[in-house]
Amino acid sequence: MSDDNLTEHIPLKAGEDMMITQYDASAVEANGLLKMDFLGLRNLTFVQRMQEKVAKDYGVNIDIKSINLEDEKTLALFAAGRTKGIFQFEQAGAINLLKRIKPRKFEDIVATTSLNRPGASDYTENFIKRRFGKETVDLIDPLVAHILEPTYGIMLYQEQVMQIAQVYAGFTLGKADLLRRAMSKKK
């Protein structure tokens, strides 16, 4: 996707349903473009089948895009660790973390997925203290406050690194992604 004509940046070829690049993943990145990997998940198929079943059996069409992500009953289930069968939240580590964080907004649930991984898990205690107001949240600079506010001033996501590089260094999204990759390389 681009707001420019892609033929100005990459070689293209007509695919069956759409235009596709003739670059491989390395060449895409080497040219400062953003490469995205989309994973196929069984859970997505399951959700689609459940939507179809509910529509057929009960005459109710569920629009995934209109689901209230801040639903209090759903947040309470996550806070109680009642997440069996929910991708990334059914293992003991995630359940224990949910019980400690007690999500009160969707963003807290999203943060749990990062805090349950090596690297970001180093910030779990700070996140929980800040979440409950037991540690000061210092948003450092108003230019990036909107980026760090959802995670209580902690840079949890690689996307936050990229956004901050865009703000401070004027990087394009592609260049910010190269920075992110360089930062995450194993030594």
Paired strand residues for 12: 21
| Residue 14, amino acid | A
pLDDT band at 38 (very low <50, low <70, confident <90, very high): low
Phi, then psi, of 127 in degrees rounded to 5: -60, -50
- Taking residues 38-60, report their average pLDDT: 84
Residue 95 has a pLDDT of 97
Q: How far apart are CA 131 and CA 151, in angstroms?
A: 9
Q: How far apart are CA 23 and CA 29, in angstroms?
A: 9
Q: Above 80 in pLDDT, residue 63? A: yes
Phi, then psi, of 184 in degrees rounded to 5: -95, 0
- Taking residues 58-83, report their average pLDDT: 95
Please name the residue ranges forming H helices in 102-187.
106-115, 124-131, 142-148, 158-169, 173-184
Residue 29 has a pLDDT of 73
* Closest CA relative to residue 32, chosen from 175, 146, 165: 175
- Taking residues 95-115, report their average pLDDT: 96
Q: How far apart are CA 33 and CA 10, in angstroms?
A: 9
- Taking residues 158-178, report their average pLDDT: 93
Angle of helix 72-79 relative to helix 106-115, nearest 10 degrees, comes to 30
Q: Kindly state the helix (H) or strand (E) to which residue 44 belongs, with its residue range.
A: helix 42-58
Give the contacts of 122 (CB within 8 A, at least 6 positions apart): none
- Taking residues 10-38, report their average pLDDT: 77
pLDDT in tens, 114-155: 999 888 889 999 999 999 999 999 888 999 999 999 999 999
Residue 137 has a pLDDT of 94
Q: Where are the domains of the chain?
A: 1-38, 40-68, 70-156
pLDDT band at 37 (very low <50, low <70, confident <90, very high): low
pLDDT band at 187 (very low <50, low <70, confident <90, very high): low
Q: Which residue has the higher pLDDT, 156 or 46?
A: 156
| Residue 68, amino acid | N
- Report the predicted TM-score, pTM, of the whole model to 2 decimal places: 0.72
Three-state DSSP at 168 gives: helix
Q: Tally the C-alpha atoms within 13 A of residue 67's C-alpha that lie toward its C-beta.
A: 11
| Residue 49, amino acid | R
